[in-house]
Amino acid sequence: GYGVICRLNNGYEPEGTIPHSSQYENFARRVANFVSISRGCKIWIIGNEMNSAVERPGIQIDWSRHGSGLSDVLDEADPLHHGLPVRFNVLPDYSDEIRTTRGAIISPGESITPNLYARCYQLCRTAIQRLPGHEEDQVLVGAVAPWNTQTTYPGNPNGDWVQYFRDILALLGPKSCDGFALHTYTHGADPAQITSDVKLPPPF
């Protein structure tokens, strides 16, 4: 099998899956320190769903303003709010749920653009592979959040998550990336959707 695969995460809201860009070098050192004292792992994932707004460093969200009436239940059963519809904001759910975090964002934090993520990843990969005994470790690009358009930037005005992923890989190139994680979620909870060929309408 693959053995142990470890995701290296800076934190959760409001800390960010990777830190503010001014702290990338410090984060890479922390990553290397963690790897150096960890045994039995040679595969490392840097960050998680970097295009999702909730993963940005410095973001602050008032979850009570999502209007679902489930805030207390969610806080207890899903403290990181991974189950809220806004995580997959382009999927139709035919409900009255708010489909954007914009109305609930108190502070937007720093968007993790492909350029910023690629820089952080490269620093972490270099720091890990400089360690004795870890020269051949695989450092993986974090999984992008599918069905999520919350991170826009020049060249990707729609926040297309596939283009976001492609832009990261293009910036890194084939010799500066050991692999990547994927989150292969379906369009919903119906098991039949696993084998469905139905695609989202344009522009996606």
pLDDT by residue, tens only, the chain of 204 residues:
678 999 999 999 999 999 999 999 999 999 999 999 999 999 999 999 999 999 999 998 877 765 544 455 455 665 665 555 566 677 655 444 444 555 577 888 999 999 999 999 999 999 999 999 999 999 999 999 998 999 999 999 999 999 999 999 999 999 999 999 999 888 777 888 889 888 777 766
Question: Does residue 74 belong to any structural domain of this protein?
Answer: no
Q: Is position 100 within any domain?
A: no
Q: Which amino acid is at 66?
A: H
Domains identified in the chain, total number: 1
Domain assignment of residue 88, yes or no: no
If you compute the radius of gyration of the chain from its CA atoms, what whole number of angstroms results? Answer: 18
Nearest to 99 by CA among 84, 109, 113, 89: 89
> Is 94 inside any structural domain?
no
Contact between residue 31 and residue 38 where contact means Cβ atoms under 8 Å apart: no
In which domain, by residue range, is 36 found? 4-58+113-195
Question: Does residue 202 lie in a domain region?
Answer: no
User: For residue 137, which amino acid is it?
Assistant: D
Give the integer Cα–Cα distance in Å for 143 and 27. 19
* 142 is a domain residue: yes
